[in-house]
Amino acid sequence: MKGRRRRRGEYCKFALLLVLYTLMLMLIPSVLDGGRDEDEGHCPDMQRSLGVWSLEAAAAGEREQGVEAQPAVEWGAGTSLRSPGDVRTHEKQHIYVHATWRTGSSFLGELFNQHPDVFYLYEPMWHVWQALYPGDAESLQGALRDMLRSLFRCDFSVLGLYMPPGGPAARASDLANVTTATLFRWRTNKVICSPPLCPDAPRARSEVGLVEDSVCERSCPPVPLRALEAECRKYPVVVIKDVRLLDLGVLVPLLRDPGLNLKVVQLFRDPRAVHNSRLKSRQGLLRESIQVLRARQRGGGFHRMLLGHVMGPRPGSQSRAMPSAPRPDLFLNRALEVICEAWLRDLLFTSGAPAWLQRRYLQLRYEDLVWHPESQLRRLLQFSGLRALDELEAFALNMTRGSAYGADRPFHLSARDAREAVHAWRERLSQEQVRQVEVACAPAMRLLAYPLSGEEGNAGEPPLEMQAKGVMNQLYP
């Protein structure tokens, strides 16, 4: 009897020691992680600006992708381009066009819209910004990422969350009563404005050419979004273009998702040309500029101050004496500063990214695209896993060889004069405006090989035209 009690006591002691040992093993990682978090807390802003990822996570991503670095692919004389890896696969490809306002992203997106193998969406995150206004741009980044994840999977139910309140789309319990007419810029979408969704369309889906919005609205009645989802699932490549995602690092969870197969094309443009174009469109960009600015200075008081300066005091209210009211130009200037800071973050983020991520990322300058549309289009299609089309090359060339800059309708896509589009800022911005842009954007401009004033060299030749071939070796090593 005593021996049995002794063995039972020894067994209990052994079990207790085993439990304590297990608890100790579980606590060790927590202690280590806590120390790491404490150390990392010294520079939270730098971590946030660079996307916050560790070498361990990058190495894990390399193993998950299971790919090795590929040799560079040569396109044209003297132009070495980063290899996108093996893009000729049967897996569905998703492309996000990462840009900001007035960088030529509508033209770049239209090249995808015209390709018969692409299902294309134009700025669907517009719905988020409209529904959650006046939210600040930074707080909305997570919502934008979640929307992208759903749309890339051809699940458009997420759009119902951001429909105008009181409308039929917002009242619908599902997508049964939500139609394509609720989508931003639906009248220029090739899938919506072509058979089979639009049997009476004047052009087939495979025919390359701009869609006239008035013709589409007249010939193509709205169809349920369920039908658009079904069409989305038929296409091998889904492309979404937007301008409201300010931090490329937000997309890392999507890029690491092996089931999504996502790639990113980021478009840049000379900030001086961006500013010139934004000034021409100042009223149309005012709301967006306020939301961008609120990412820097949060708070309802700041928003009320902005609206008070722009809209004036409400009728019957007492207006306080204020300093000289800032013009919309001031909001555009300050918003451009935020945008250039975001560009710099993205450039630093991608320069230190692991190889698997760099193979899923493509930098493109607007100036290179309009000066050399055929070669840049081939490069873009190669990266996206899309076949080259002679008709699409001719379309790209014609769109950059128009007779005017199109200043009368800044948000309307049409053929433009590439030289005018690239160099218009030199004639339309004052020296002080140019100086302000260069002060705010100089770090990003240098990384993108945009010369500052006085650094162009031979003033008799267009500097970007001279650099177009040689600079690509710097941008795409």
Provide the pLDDT for residue 244.
87
Low-confidence ranges of the chain (pLDDT < 70): 1-90, 133-135, 137, 164-176, 282-290, 292-293, 295-328, 403-412, 414, 456-477
Phi and psi torsions of 340, nearest 5°: -65, -35
- Asked if residues 214 and 262 have their Cβ atoms less than 8 Å apart, the reply is no
Q: Where are the beta strands (DSSP E) in 51-160?
A: 73-74, 80-81, 93-98, 118-122
Burial of 223 (0-12, 13-18, 19+ CB in 10 A): middle
C-alpha span between 388 and 390 (Å, rounded): 7
Q: Which residues contact 473 (CB under 8 A, 6 or more apart)?
A: 78, 79, 80
Alpha carbons within 13 angstroms on the beta-carbon side of residue 214 total: 1
Instruction: Count the Cβ atoms, other than its own, within 10 Å of residue 294.
Output: 21
Q: Where are the beta strands (DSSP E) in 293-370?
A: 361-365
- Asked if residues 420 and 432 have their Cβ atoms less than 8 Å apart, the reply is no
Q: Is residue 21 part of a domain?
A: no
Provide the pLDDT for residue 167.
54
What residues does 263 pair with on adjacent strands? 95
Q: Is residue 60 part of a domain?
A: no
Q: Is residue 31 part of a domain?
A: no
Q: Is residue 300 part of a domain?
A: no
CA dihedral 311, 317, 322, 327 (to 10 degrees): 10
Specify the number of domains making up the chain.
1
How do residues 80-127 score in pLDDT, each as one tens digit? 333 333 334 468 999 999 999 889 999 999 999 999 999 999 999 888
Q: Where are the beta strands (DSSP E) in 314-395?
A: 361-365
Q: Is residue 329 part of a domain?
A: no
Provide the pLDDT for residue 305.
45
Only one residue has tokens 């722009």, namely 310
Residue 456 to residues 110, 173, 453, Cα–Cα distance (Å): 31, 59, 7
How do residues 142-179 score in pLDDT, each as one tens digit? 888 999 999 999 999 888 888 766 555 544 445 567 88
Tell me the Cα Rg of the chain.
Answer: 26
Provide the pLDDT for residue 7.
62
Provide the pLDDT for residue 373.
94
C-alpha span between 159 and 180 (Å, rounded): 11
Question: 419 is in which domain, residue-wise?
Answer: 84-270+354-426
Provide the pLDDT for residue 456.
67
3-state secondary structure of 2: helix
| Tokens found for residue 29 | 């990682």
Q: Is residue 154 part of a domain?
A: yes
Residue 229 to residues 53, 221, 238, 384, Cα–Cα distance (Å): 34, 17, 12, 21
Provide the pLDDT for residue 277.
86
Q: Is residue 206 part of a domain?
A: yes
- Asked if residues 93 and 235 have their Cβ atoms less than 8 Å apart, the reply is no
- pTM here is 0.74
Strand pairing class (80-81; 73-74)? antiparallel
Only one residue has tokens 């000066």, namely 371
- Asked if residues 220 and 192 have their Cβ atoms less than 8 Å apart, the reply is yes
Q: What angle do CA 139, 141, 146 make, to 5 degrees?
A: 125
Q: Is residue 436 part of a domain?
A: no
